[in-house]
Amino acid sequence: MDKFSDECGIIAITQRGNKEIVRTAYFGLNGIQHRGQQSAGLAVCNDGNISCYKEMGLITEVFDEKILSLLKGEMCLGHVRYSNIEEDFPVNSQPMVVNYKKGSLAVAFNGALINKEELIDQMLNEGLVFTNDSDCEIIAALIARYDKGDIAEAILKTMNMIKGAYSIGIMTEKAIIGVRDPHGIRPLAIGKIDGGYVFASESCAIDMMDGDLLRDVQPGEILMIEDEKLTSVDTLKNSTRQRAGCIFEYVYFARPDSTIDGLNAYKSREAAGQILAKESPVLADYVIGVPDSGVAAAIGFSMSSGIQFTIGLEKNKYLGRTFIKPSQHERETSVKIKLNPIREVIEGKRIVLVDDSIVRGTTMRKLIETIKNAGAKEIHLRIASPPIYNRCYLGVDTANKNDLIATSGSIESICKFLGVDSLAFITIEGLFASLGGNKSMFCTGCLDGNYPKL
């Protein structure tokens, strides 16, 4: 469907005595494949030598048994990447490996730098050469420049230079390092595996590697693991920590089995559906969720309303998330083969259709049309996030403001455009309630314009 789309996913592992660690990382990357489907890469460190393989495509397309067998090492850094159509080139794949005076390092990045152009101009004037203009290469170049023998100090100086939302995985010849931006906008967790540690963008990846979640990397924290010793550098120890995690991690981005900053994605979505049912009740025969991310909210809606939840849309499980298609035409074409209504369930029935969010509305309109053609008597659309009024500039690929359906007119006009009998969004107060009520913990800029001050 037409959704916001996150940028990337990161895995970093160290496990003493296991030269086949890349296979563990491979399973971890599969756990966060939903965060990026354009390219995948794995870098390994073997006896101080860093090598990397990356290519365009899904993890299962990029890596086969032959390639995995060639990647030996006790430390590994992995990445899956989402890119918009302008950036969809192999040169932008990650991790990025750089060699410099103090050695070599690999970097994987998730997020966006808002002062990228300023940094590029400054570094070009100083004689640096870039192979691309990616945020990841800028960060790698800055760390290499500042590394005088203390990698943590080099990262701290880099963090003082960059502005934006990010989580970063770094692998040196001796350590793996996890870094999170001062507001914790992009997620990053650390877990324990047998004989080592792992960083991952989502806790579900740690589960898939038979690890145990320890905690989230804190906003503004540099967390380094070297020789099985974990060292934390809190860059905000002398300042006020203003946490502002991306609220859409809970609405849509994260897998339901992931827990981020203490909140489980599935339970928060289920709670949002329950609140939505109370805020916007409707008489209907069935509640149907748009697979996959709308299902939890639909179950919650059913629990609260007493209307039976059922499966009314069959998903083609061999397609990736439709939003991953970079062009709008590809998104609209994909929806035709991704979701198929079950006529025997829908025909003659009043349907509550629940989805997690709606951005442009164009592919939702096509889905509504297919449900109507399957014989639905009424369609009442319920959305488990508030209307989206603003673009995100903090690491989420979004439509232009004028293309956002919420800015196009009244609820009545949007109903007419989509072809539904009624439409309601959860209130922003309801969304906060589904997340425990602490509104100060989240970035809600796309909903109400309240972006964190970077």
DSSP secondary structure, 372-416, as one string: HHTT-SEEEEEESSPPP-S---SSEE---GGG-GGGSS-HHHHHH
pLDDT confidence bin for 2, thresholds 50/70/90? low
- Give me the pLDDT at residue 1, please: 40
Q: Is residue 234 part of a domain?
A: yes
Residues 371 and 417 in one domain: yes
What integer is the mean pLDDT of 240-262?
Answer: 92
Alpha helices in 75-165 (DSSP H): 116-125, 135-146, 151-161
CATH number of the domain to which 389 belongs: 3.40.50.2020
**136 is an active site residue:** no
pLDDT of residue 203: 98
Residue ending a domain, among 183, 209, 243, is 243
Q: Predicted confidence band at 134 (pLDDT cuts at 50, 70, 90)?
A: confident
Residues 155 and 26 in one domain: yes
Q: For the chain, what percent of residues have pLDDT higher than 90?
A: 75
The answer on 183 and 86 residing in a single domain is yes
Instruction: With beta carbons less than 8 A apart as the criterion, state whether 299 and 273 touch.
Output: yes
Q: What is the pLDDT of residue 323?
A: 43
Same domain, 184 and 117: yes
Domain span including residue 363: 264-444
Q: What is the rounded average pLDDT of the residues 53-70?
A: 95
Give me the residues paired with residue 181 across strands: none
- Residues 239 and 268 both lie in one domain: no
Please report the pLDDT score of residue 5 as a whole number: 59
231 and 275 together in one domain: no
Q: What is the pLDDT of residue 322?
A: 42
Residue 248 lies in a domain: no
- Return d(Cα 426, Cα 405) in angstroms, integer: 16
- The pLDDT, as a whole number, for residue 402 is 81
Mean pLDDT value of segment 263-271:
97
What's the rounded mean pLDDT across residues 316-345? 66
Q: What is the pLDDT of residue 321?
A: 46
Active-site residue identified among 8, 136, 246, 446 = 8
Q: Total structural domains in the chain?
A: 2
Task: Answer yes or no: do 88 and 216 share one domain.
Answer: yes
CATH number at residue 198: 3.60.20.10
Q: Does 237 share its domain with 274?
A: no
Residue count (the chain): 454
**Average pLDDT of the residues in 215-219:** 96
Residue 191 placed within a domain: yes
3-class state of residue 347 by DSSP: coil
Query: Is position 175 within any domain?
Result: yes
191-200, 308-317, 322-331, 436-445, range with the lowest pLDDT: 322-331
Whether residue 239 is found in the same domain as residue 270: no
Q: What CA–CA distance (Å, rounded) separates 190 from 212?
A: 9
**Is residue 347 situated within a structural domain?**
yes
- pLDDT value of residue 127: 83
Residue 331 has pLDDT above 60, yes or no: no
Same-domain status, 298 and 235: no
**Which comes out higher in pLDDT, residue 239 or 47?**
47
pLDDT of residue 393: 84
Across the range 253-265, mean pLDDT stands at 96
Mean pLDDT of 399-404: 80
Determine contact, residues 261/411, Cβ cutoff 8 Å.
no
pLDDT of residue 370: 94
Decide which of 331 and 375 is more confident: 375
Q: Is residue 129 part of a domain?
A: yes
Residue 253 lies in a domain: no
pLDDT at 416 over 90: yes
Task: State mean pLDDT over 80-104.
Answer: 81
Same domain, 419 and 390: yes
Say if residue 117 is in the same domain as residue 239. Answer: yes
Q: What long-range pairs does 195-198 form, CB within 8 A, spacing at least 24?
A: 195/15, 195/16, 195/17, 195/18, 195/228, 196/13, 196/14, 196/15, 196/16, 196/18, 196/21, 196/225, 196/228, 197/13, 197/14, 197/225, 197/228, 197/230, 198/11, 198/12, 198/13, 198/14, 198/28
- Residue 289 binned pLDDT confidence (cut-offs 50, 70, 90): very high
Q: Please provide the average confidence, as pLDDT, over all residues in the chain.
A: 91
Using the predicted structure, report yes or no on whether residue 52 has a pLDDT greater than 80: yes
